Amino acid sequence: MDLGSPTSYLSLETGTPVYSADEQELGKVDEVRAAPDLDIFDGIGIDGGSPGKRFVGAEHVEEIFERGVRLNLSAADAASLPATR
């Protein structure tokens, strides 16, 4: 899977695909929760259709690339992430 070059949360865009550690697409970035002026990255919201929107804390975001985000969770573990509105 070619996700492009590594980048940071500062350039992460909504609609970017999010993948589990076992390379399953979980959905797309719906929001980036951060305080850039304080250099704090809290995590991302993902919209995966069913079961809906989920929040991924920064501790589970393994790497951010130009064309994708990779988590340090398996698809099964990611299914238990907290739902958001």
Let me know how many helices (H) and strands (E) the chain has, helices first: 1, 6
- What order do you get walking across the sheet with 61-65 strand by strand? 53-57, 40-47, 25-35, 17-19, 68-71, 61-65
The DSSP line for 56-85 is EEGGGEEEEETTEEEESS-HHHHTTSPB--
What letter would DSSP give residue 36? Answer: G
Per the prediction, the chain carries an average pLDDT of 93
pTM strictly above 0.85: yes
The CATH fold assigned to 9-78 is SH3 type barrels. (2.30.30)
Strands 17-19 and 68-71: parallel
**pLDDT tens figures, 32-69:** 999 999 999 999 999 986 667 999 999 999 999 999 99
Sequence ranges of the domains in the chain: 9-78
